[in-house]
Amino acid sequence: MTLSVQQRGSVFLVMALSLLLLGITLSFSGHDWQRVMQVGVGVCALVYGLSIPAGRLVDKPTAIGLALVFGLGLVSSLLAHQPLWALTEWALMITCGVIAAAFARLRRNGDQTLDQVLILFVLLLCLIKSLQYGYAGVLAFTSGEPTLDTDLLLSGFSNKRFYGQFQTFTLPLLALPLLLTGTSRLARGLVFALLCAWWLIAISGGTRGTWLGFGVAALVLAFLGAAGRRWLTWQLAALCGGLVLYGLLFTVLAPYLGLEIASLSKDRLTTSLSGREVIWWQAWDMIRERPWLGFGPMHFADIPNPIAAHPHQAILQWASEWGVPSALCVALLALRGGWATLRVIHRQGPSGAPQDLLRLCLFAALLGATVQAMVDGIIVMPYSQLWLALVVGWLMALHPWRTPVVEPMPLLRGAWQVSAVLSVALLVFVVYRDLPGATERSQHYSDVTKRQLQPRFWVQGVIAPHVR
């Protein structure tokens, strides 16, 4: 029996969302597990994309720009110190594009029902994580231990910053049901309570990049008409609710029970770069040494340093590894896409239609993530890459073309399909090769170097041969 296009889309959606759910809810969830889940979503996206008729998602300038970026990346990879690792990163970025294209085509082939499903999925994910946080909190408050470390309440991620990255994408989207006129009073109250809890976790986690990204997004949306201001009002109200909950739990209840609190969020309210200046200078030195093609994708991790396997800054990372021309091209593509979305939001703002409100929330999520990528590894962490691809693909599908979109050049389309197949196949090979001994290699790295793990492709992300 042959499945219809809609049925194939439903199968892809169920599998992709199941993997996204399993990526952060299981007790052993972490960086390596999420990488495996990401490759799994990539396989599903590839199969789905090849099984349906090809459709145009971007205009010709964007297609040419992407071809230039990945063409330069391929050359940089082949010239790198470790070509296989460089090609792995190159393949990973192409796979993220495959996932974005799959979600875009899924929405283009469907209707607003998909929007509702995805928003309900976001609500479900945030509800599960909030319940896990609450359960961990109850155990911590009743354990009898004299000290309560708030970081231990955050589960599902290898680092609380990665949790914060996930919240950067989901905080803006959680407000959508509050903006829709058709939402019942009961549903509105439940969603607002969940948003307050989500803000409680964001405050508790203390990820400054999340706060910075949200702050910039909030500032921009305040100038995007009445809908943007309504979104901001709901978010500020929920933020106040989260602050009240945080105060009641950790500054009232905890002292009353005689508990000492470790890792309070106020302790992280500093202007310190937390060692980022060291890795930023390393990236800058790499750019000056090889400005045209960079050292090769992933090759910041080929030069050991005591802090991280990536520079925690998207522009510096791309320029040092892929080259300055590629970084400029990526920046121009991002600015062009962001400006096009901003113009649509400004033009459609007064309508208040569900699709326009959704576009507003997606834009806020993408803008917040982009800002956070200037100080954090949004483009490195597997779960963040997945959500970045999902949000970009979702926005691509919702974009209203004002002029007819012509079919892409056959050569570019063919090159993309071949690259997509080879990229996903390479990632499957890397997972098959590395996953069985990943835990032992991480422990060996910690024992030999006496350093904390530095995530990149795997949680132990340093690829320098003499320290692996």
Sequence spans of domains, the chain: 1-110+277-322+378-468
Report the distance separating Cα 417 and Cα 322, nearest Å: 22
Nearest 5°: phi and psi at 260? -95, 130
pLDDT tens digits, one per residue of 5-20: 899 999 999 999 999 9
Query: In this predicted structure, what is the pLDDT of residue 207?
Result: 87
Question: For the chain, what percent of residues have pLDDT higher than 70?
Answer: 96
Residue type, 16: A
Query: In this predicted structure, what is the pLDDT of residue 418?
Result: 96
Query: In this predicted structure, what is the pLDDT of residue 211?
Result: 93
Task: Decide: 17 and 45 in contact? Cβ < 8 Å.
Answer: no
pLDDT tens digits, one per residue of 221-263: 999 889 999 999 999 999 999 999 999 999 999 988 888 888 7
Q: How far is CA 230 from CA 155, 181, 221, 358, in A?
A: 32, 12, 9, 13
Contacts of 207 (CB under 8 A, 6+ apart): 160, 161, 163, 164, 165, 167, 376
pLDDT tens digits, one per residue of 328-379: 999 999 999 999 999 999 887 667 889 999 999 999 999 999 999 999 999 9
Report the distance separating Cα 391 and Cα 299, nearest Å: 27
pLDDT mean over 428-452: 91
pLDDT mean over 159-186: 95
Query: In this predicted structure, what is the pLDDT of residue 268?
Result: 66
Which pair of tokens denotes residue 417? 């399909």
pLDDT mean over 388-403: 90
Query: In this predicted structure, what is the pLDDT of residue 401?
Result: 75
